[in-house]
Amino acid sequence: MPNYRDNTVSIVKCSEYHEFEAVKRAVKEAVELLGGFESVISPGDTVLLKPNFICAADYRTGATTNPNVIFAVADLCREVGAREIIIGEGAAVGNDTDKVFDELGIRERAEKHNCRLVNFHKDEYVYVMNPLAKIFKRIRIPRTFMESNVVINIPVMKTHDALAVTLGLKNMKGLIHTSDKKRFHKWGLAQTVVDLGHLALPELTIVDGTVALEGMGPVVGEPVGLGLLMASADTVAADRVSMEIMGFELEEVDYIKLAGEQGLGCTDLDEIKVVGEKLETVKRKFKRLSLDQELLKEMNINVMACDACSGCNNAINSYLYGLSINGQLGKLKDSTLVYGQNPVIEGEDGRKIIRLGMCTRNMPNAEGLYVPGCPPHPNHIDDFLQGHGLDRE
Ligand code: SF4
């Protein structure tokens, strides 16, 4: 399908990423290589910046966008005449966006940089038709998004246990209503993220690779001080170049492949024009999530993912990985963990049964302990099990 966006992607080094002025110079350079902020913003525009504030983890962990990048973009937008700069986010299910703004110090800095914060979860949502979508033809979108003249997407570069990587396209999921976020997990995350792209592609995407995240993304992996920024008007091309830097093949990342096939942007590296740093010189292979299956076997822990959508896969893998790296898997010795949309348990006599997630609430032969949530949050699973004394070795 034709792609009408300019698929040039700039790559710029930003090694002093804790220093605001150095970051601002790097952001400016990355966008100047594409024609400058003035090519995107007209005087008087309202500009919406969409960072990744999934939770209240500091950017040094790699889980959230570096605020230096966000406020550098804000200042540079203002310098070319933007009238109002809004920073909008709807944190992940189970996180309070206002608290995230507070705990990350975003509210304080927003005042200094004269930016308005919008918690999408408290914004007015308007139904918008999405005729190009394959799964949903109508969805709620925050009014602030609909009324902004320009949207600049500022995701952080991360691995993701359900989608392999999370970059620009996936970052727009922060826009939608919490109950639609849960539905995305039910309906199939890859195609729903692409469907959302048909409706909500930003004018500019700046991938924050200053402190990226590898391993068990999107929250509890290991930070990578990569010191890079990637920018493009074509979000898909920015994602394609970023995942190439991380060492992921297109075949490994369904939603970016689908986005290319469905005309959202360019995924062909031979067609994408890379400017600034050479792609070959900045590659750095990212670690993938790897649960130690041998250790699970040794502990006699049986994990039954019964048609689970990515929400539960994500949450439960995170939970198990967290226990494993902290040497606490013994808590679950001789247990069966069951989750997913068609949960079944057979021949598990004498074992501790732990049912995880809303789909297991009324499952056939329901027994054992039920941990609610859709998906259950990894931290809540641990708290819940501790509360019920099922975590003792
Ligand atoms: S409980 Fe888990 S498997 Fe069920 S709909 Fe929610 S995220 Fe999906």
Average pLDDT over residues 264-290: 95
State yes or no: pLDDT of 222 exceeds 70: yes
Mutate to test the pocket of ligand 1, among 182, 337, 341 (most ligand atoms within 8 A of CB): 341
- Each residue's pLDDT tens digit, 94-113: 789 999 999 999 999 999 99
Q: In this predicted model, which residue has the larger pLDDT, 311 or 234?
A: 234
| 111: Cβ contacts below 8 Å, ≥ 6 apart | none
Domains parsed from the chain with CATH numbers: 9-282 (3.40.50.11440), 293-387 (3.40.50.12280)
Mutation choice for ligand 1 from 185, 339, 371, CB with most ligand atoms inside 8 A: 185
Nearest CA among 111, 116, 36, 29 for reference residue 79:
36
Mean pLDDT of the region 223-247: 98
Q: Is 186 in the pocket of ligand 1 (CB under 6 A)?
A: yes
Please write the tens of the pLDDT for every residue from 186-211: 677 788 999 999 999 999 999 999 99
Give the model's pLDDT for residue 119: 98
Most confident of 151-160, 306-315, 380-389: 151-160
Contact residues for 106 (Cβ-Cβ < 8 A; gap 6+): 53, 67, 70, 87, 100, 117
Q: Is residue 160's pLDDT more than 70?
A: yes
Cβ of 316 less than 6 Å from ligand 1: no
Query: What pLDDT score was predicted for residue 220?
Result: 79
Q: Encoding tokens for residue 240? A: 């394609």
Structure-block tokens of residue 376: 């259950």
Element (H, E) at 13: strand 9-13
- Which protein residue's CA is at the shortest distance from atom 8 of ligand 1? 309
Q: What is the pLDDT of residues 316-338, one digit of tens each?
A: 887 898 888 889 999 999 999 99
Q: What is the mean pLDDT of residues 60-86?
A: 98
Q: What's the pTM value of the predicted model, to 2 decimals?
A: 0.82
**Confidence tier at 4 by pLDDT (50, 70, 90):** low
- pLDDT band of residue 393 (cuts 50, 70, 90) is very low
For ligand 1, whether the C-beta of 41 sits within 6 Å is no
| Residues 128, 111: Cα–Cα separation, whole Å | 31
Of ligand 1's listed atoms, the one at least distance from the Cα of 373 is 1
Residue 259 bridge partners (DSSP): none
